[in-house]
Amino acid sequence: MDNIDRQILEQITTWVAGGHRVALGTIVRTWGSAPRPPGSAVAIRDDGLVAGSVSGGCIEDDLVDKARAGTLATQRPQVVRYGIDADAAHRFGLPCGGLIELVLEAVAPHSLLPQLLERLKRGERVRRRLDLASGAVTLEEGSASDELVLTASELVTHHGPSWRMLVIGAGQLTQYLAPMAHALGYQVTVCDPRAEYADGFAVVGPAGQVRLVRTMPDDTVRELQPDGHLAIVALTHDPKLDDMALMEALASPAFYVGAIGSRANQAKRKERLKEHFGLGDEALARLHGPVGLKNGARTPPEIAVSILAEITAVRYGYLIPEPVAPAAAATLPAGCMA
């Protein structure tokens, strides 16, 4: 994710400026159960300090030992595997015989990490090509569909925001939702044509990460050209605004569409969308509402957490069942809530 990329790169920059040697490790493949997905990174300083993570800690411990011994990626990039057999998997904390493959590279001027960091700060998406024979790097303009690729000659990684979120409404809830979504790696657009809300909205985050637009919601949805990496959340409580966004959103490939409001309001909203905008039952079934996981959230920050929890579950393909209310849970047999 973008935030994690930047934190690791900023730490590497500080370490190198202080005269330290640093190795960068990137997960390129996993088999079985693995704690972190491909693309996850870790930086190891020559004295053993660590930034980032590629496992539960055991692989990092091995990398630290090698860094202190001066044997970690001292020449050209290396491809290494952890957990090839069950004993090794257990030793390195990989559950169920998992296996992790890493590319390790020594950080040098030709790694172009400061240049990559600057481009990420500008909100750009960047494709990084690492030549495995020489360690030389080239940086290219990335796209939302980029995927990590390892060949016999190079490693191609992508950096910067690939997941996007459109929030309709610049009210109090959005003041919490937008920075939280940014922390999860989303490039956030907040849309509100109402001056009484937009004028007081404090845009947070680095340039390119959270932005405010004052265009009409339906126009904004179309301009963003929704794809499977876009979540759309309507939070104004104003049918004239929320319905306009939902009309376009529910007919798009956006992976998540949600709207705030009670169950009664959601039923009325679906009736309006069907009668006035011609949306069918299949499209309306995609609407998450009341928006967010049903976890008892009441305050704006709690509701923001519940919204992002539901979006995360949908993003990874998890179906979250209706929760058991506290009063009902108290009558369940012991062990039912485990």
| Per-residue three-class SS string for 10-36 | HHHHHHHHCCCCEEEEEEEEEECCCCC
- pLDDT given for residue 283 in this prediction: 92
Average of per-residue pLDDT across 81-108:
71
Higher-pLDDT residue of 228 and 14 is 14
pLDDT at 204 over 70: no
pTM of the model: 0.67
Q: What is the pLDDT of residue 143?
A: 74
Q: Which residue has the higher pLDDT, 184 or 12?
A: 12
Among 87-96, 109-118, 193-202, 278-287, which stretch is predicted with the lowest mean pLDDT? 87-96
- Mean pLDDT in the chain? 86
pLDDT at residue number 120 = 86
Handedness of CA 130, 134, 135, 138 (dihedral sign): negative
- Measured over the CA atoms of residue 48, residue 119, residue 309 and residue 172, the dihedral's sign is positive
pLDDT, tens digit, 9 for 90 and up, residues 21-75? 999 999 998 876 666 788 889 999 999 999 998 876 678 888 999 999 988 877 8
Mean pLDDT in residue range 209-219: 91
Pairwise CA distance, residues 244 & 312, whole Å: 25
Of 39 and 88, the structure prediction assigns the larger pLDDT to 39
Domains assigned to the chain: 2-159 (no CATH), 163-315 (3.40.50.720)
Classify residue 6 as exposed, middle or buried by CB count within 10 Å of its CB (0-12, 13-18, 19+): middle
Mean pLDDT of the 245-252 span: 94
Q: Which residue has the higher pLDDT, 125 or 91?
A: 125
Q: Name the residue with higher pLDDT: 329 or 133.
A: 133
Distance CA 235, CA 197 (A): 12
Q: What is the mean pLDDT of residues 149-159?
A: 93
Query: For 321-338, what is each residue's pLDDT tens digit?
Result: 877 777 655 555 544 443
Confidence of residue 1 (pLDDT cuts 50, 70, 90): very low
H-helix or E-strand spanning residue 81:
strand 78-82
Stretch 101-125: mean pLDDT: 91
Task: Supply the pLDDT for residue 316.
Answer: 84
* 6 vs 260: which has the higher pLDDT: 260
pLDDT of residue 94: 53
